[in-house]
Amino acid sequence: MVTETVLSLPFDGRWLVQNSPARRVPSHGTDLLGERYAIDFVGVDDRRRTADRTDWRTVLSTEPPERFVSFGRPILAPVDGIVVATHDGEADHEARRSQLTLIPYALSQARRLREGVAAIAGNHVILELRGGGLYAALVHLRAGSFRVAPGDRVTTGQPLAECGNSGNSTQPHVHIQLMDDLDLSRARGVPMVFRDFREWPRRGEPVVRDRGIPAEGSVVAPARADSG
């Protein structure tokens, strides 16, 4: 029987769920880099928009990350623990919604994988959970936004950094995963669930869930922070 570890959502406000393990496992189509049960969250406004505008760049080109709702939002510790690793200094690159830019970007995936963990995860922080042996990684963080360093003890809900668009990311979002090793290159993914969140499904009325994994395409927020 697989035991699931319970975490809190690593943010306030509303976020769109992508690559959910509720849809498939491995959630990102691979077991590499401890990603088996990973999940992505993209910040949205109350109209489910991920960006504050669309224009010719949305269709034909790249876009500045600053126009996206996620960019610069605080990312919070999902669990009590200790910071065991951080990586900063990767650039927050232009975002891509246009198919004209997404296709060549997808074709460059193999090259980024050869370049190593930083080219995939970008700026990231890894926490060792209390009790040891399990590690939570939060990746694609904003360059220069870190508020913690290795050795710091953190509590659930404590700010770690800001959401960015570093590493293998087509638009600002946060990727979180639980794993059995702090070294992403050899880690194996571990199942997790989230506690106390409100979920707006693609269809139907919102529900408050005591724990679970949100569905692909739903919008979630911590139950404490958003009653709308």
Helix, coil or strand: residue 110 = helix
Q: Per residue in 196-224, is it b (16+ CB within 10 Å) or e — as a string?
A: ebbbbeeeeeeeebeeebbebebbbbbbe
Q: Is 165 exposed, middle or buried (0-12, 13-18, 19+ CB in 10 A)?
A: buried
H or E element that contains 59:
helix 56-60
- Encode pLDDT of 35-91 as tens digits: 999 999 999 999 999 998 888 788 888 999 999 999 999 999 999 999 999 999 999
pTM to 2 decimal places? 0.93
Spatial neighbors of 12 by CB under 8 A, at least 6 apart, are 73, 74, 76, 221, 222, 225, 226
Cα torsion angle, 207, 213, 218, 220, sign: positive
pLDDT at 2: 55
Distance of alpha carbon 159 from alpha carbon 169, whole angstroms? 21
- For the chain, the domains span 5-222
H or E element in which residue 60 lies: helix 56-60
Structurally, at CATH architecture level, domain 5-222 sits in Distorted Sandwich (2.70)
- Tell me: pLDDT of 228 over 60: no
Output the six-digit token pair for 147: 């508020």
pLDDT value at residue 99? 82
